[in-house]
Chains A and B, each alone.
Chain A
Amino acid sequence: MKPASLKSFFQPKKAVVEKVVRETPDLRSLLIRPEGGFRFEPGQFAMVTAAEAGEAPFAPSSSPDETETVRITAKKTTDGIQAARAGDFVGIRGPYGKPFSFAPSIHTEMAFAVRGIGLAAARPFILRALAMRESFHRMALWTHPADALPCAGDIPSWKTAIEVIHGESATGSGRPTTCADSLMRSGFRPERAAALLFCGREENRELARALSGAGFGPESIFLWTETRMNCAVGHCRRCTLDHLFVCREGPLIPLAALSGLRSFGALP
């Protein structure tokens, strides 16, 4: 009857908030320094606890190659995290979720579609892709001109490496369908490209449909999928879409794994 030699994985590490950056009127980033550092891969996320405010999942907006500090970007709705000040302590546990496999032999072209805070989640992917830029034939970032983006200061420096496409506000929409059009116009080849979508639940779905229509396969369209998470290890079942644990299989999930799920439904 020897007990298992297992340690609790729910215990967060203590981290100090080094800096708070006001990104946009409703977005703030915290630069935190966890005791012992924090390693993650693009696609993974952390559970961050602010004193008394509770715990919430955040995909770091910092580079996966930075292991001493982690940058997390929070919306107003996650007010407990937003209220943190420099010098405060927070907790961090993880990383959780599925690391994304860049596959330059299959996907030589990478497209990132982001709206607003989506850029925070996309940033580790973009930074990693930039670090292996020579592996890709083409990279593009689609954004919407009306959006206030976090970490937007990066974009000018990326411009030589990434084609930055702004949604067409002149047409009055800037809807995701125009993103698919823009990618096609700029010469993306659906059979060689991967599209990573960080545009929010509904727009991701619309965009996935538009990209499917343009010839992207379901294995090449990846949707940043946000559901309510709590344990982050696939035990509490809260984040599930049918049988799929978003905390384990996601948050970035290929359309092929989502389509057919009752909880995901048909594309619009």
Chain B
Amino acid sequence: MILEKYYISKEHWQNVLADWMRKHEVLAPVRRPGGLFFERIEAPRIHEIVLDGARSVQPLKSFLFPPFEDVTSDPQAIPVSSIFLGARSCDMAALAVLDRSLGSGTPDPHHANRRQSAAVISADCTQPYPTCFCTSVELNPYAMEGFDLNVSKIWDGFIIEVGSARGKALLEGFDRSLKPVVKEEEEAQEKLRREAVQRVQRWNLATLQSFGDVFHHEWDVVVLKRLGSACVECGACNFACPTCHSFYLDSATPKFLQKIRGWDSCLFPGYDRMPDGESSRPRLFERFRHRLFCKFLLQKENTGLSGCTGCGRCIDACPGRIDMRSVLTELAREHSLHAA
């Protein structure tokens, strides 16, 4: 829900950023070979921050649920007051999935502490990639909820939307920099948002409009094997995915009873192998199918939220060039759910 809305000029915005950087650890996207990457930014590098354009290459879980972590360490040692600036709508959706998954039952203390010590400021996506398909999973390239603040770059400034008390607190002391939003600015924001939506839709003219139905059919194994034949079980899709949170607790650690948590992949053959060698999904096509089910159906049944945010990182990451959209579209076609 949007509580308040302001316009801020670029100069004033930079003052705000500089102030935040004095008080908090600010992570924001900067341009690097291959795309945008979140990095810790300090005042001299403010100008490097990219708040328009597309999503970052690495998912935000890299910071909130790091690839390796000693989970027997004191979770309260974590809090550094941080700000994630420039999360895209797909990132926001992924944070909500992780909040619900890792917060279910007994909440994960390390994730919860990191999450609670971080403010998240989203930014509208203006140049979605060809691999993006957020509009196919009922999202937009701009965030509507979940953020503390959201920024939309227009002309030579930003529209700032306040989504929480924490967001409002971040703007304290900058009253004179914040102007009421005028009609033209609001129209410019809407126009840019509309264009971004159209861009995603254009990239996805051949994509199935809704992925739900295909999961209620028994998939032809021959077709599935063909579609997954390029999978080399590297796990890149899992690691690039902003919502995949399967992990392995490693006990072979230097200290007795220490546990190191590391990201894991449900595509690895040993993922669910029992000590007696039994596995629920011994064959690759079964694991490949499971991943799709997990993303689009199972996580939704568990959390009420889609496990896929349409960010397309798995498509970009796959060395076999497997495109989840084409796989599901092809399966739908097999079941005559989608016209050729």
Contacts and interface: CB of A to CB of B under 8 A. Distances in A.
B256 interface: yes
A11 B122 CA distance: 35
A230 B119 contact: no
Contacts of A233: 105-106, 108
A226 B274 contact: yes
Contacts of A75: 275-276
Contacts of A228: 271-274, 279-280
A237 B76 contact: no
B251 A227 contact: no
Given A89-B256, A236-B246, A243-B298, A8 B110 contact: yes
B116 A263 contact: no
B251 A1 contact: no
Nearest to A54: B251
A236 B111 CA distance: 13
Contacts of B256: 51, 89, 91
B205 to A, nearest CB: 31
Given A77-B276, A228-B274, A4 B259 contact: no
B74 A8 contact: yes
Contacts of A39: none
B113 A3 contact: yes
Contacts of B117: 1, 3
B105 to A, nearest CB: 5
Contact of A238 (B78, B102, B104, B272): B272
A240 B71 CA distance: 22
Interface string A15-54: 0000000000000000000000000000000000101111
Contact of B79 (A3, A9, A11, A236): A3
Interface residues on A, range: 35 or more
B109 to A, nearest CB: 3
A248 interface: yes
| Main SS class of interface, A | loop
Contacts of A49: 251, 257
B275 A56 contact: yes
Interface string B299-339: 00110000000000000000000000000000000000000
B182 interface: no
A12 B253 CA distance: 13
A231 B249 contact: yes
Contact of B76 (A5, A10, A53, A240): A5
A239 B280 CA distance: 9
B101 interface: yes
Given A6-B112, A54-B252, A235-B101, A1 B119 contact: yes
A169 B149 CA distance: 71
Interface string B269-303: 00111111011110000000000011001100110
Given A6-B107, A8-B71, A238 B246 contact: yes
Contact of A11 (B245, B250, B259, B272): B259
Interface string A211-248: 00000000000000011101101111111111101001
Given A1-B166, A52-B252, A237 B110 contact: no
B278 A201 contact: yes
B72 A1 contact: no
A77 B278 CA distance: 12
B301 A3 contact: no
A10 B189 CA distance: 46
Interface in A147-179: none
A185 interface: no
Nearest to B260: A10
B293 to A, nearest CB: 7
Given A227-B274, A242-B298, A10 B71 contact: yes
A6 B246 contact: no
Contact of B75 (A7, A51, A231): A7
Given A75-B275, A227-B274, A237-B246, A11 B251 contact: no
Contacts of A242: 293, 298, 301
Contacts of B166: 1
Nearest to A13: B257
A55 B157 CA distance: 54
A262 B294 CA distance: 12
A1 to B, nearest CB: 5
B116 A1 contact: yes
Contacts of B63: none
A28 B274 CA distance: 18
A14 interface: yes
A125 B131 CA distance: 53
A157 B126 CA distance: 75
Interface string B15-39: 0000000000000000000000000
Contacts of A226: 274
Interface string B70-98: 01111110110100000000000000000
A78 B276 CA distance: 9
A238 B279 CA distance: 11
Given A236-B248, A237-B246, 20 more contacts: A2-B116, A3-B75, A4-B107, A7-B74, A8-B75, A10-B259, A11-B257, A11-B259, A12-B257, A12-B259, A49-B257, A52-B252, A55-B251, A77-B275, A78-B275, A228-B273, A233-B106, A235-B245, A238-B272, A241-B280
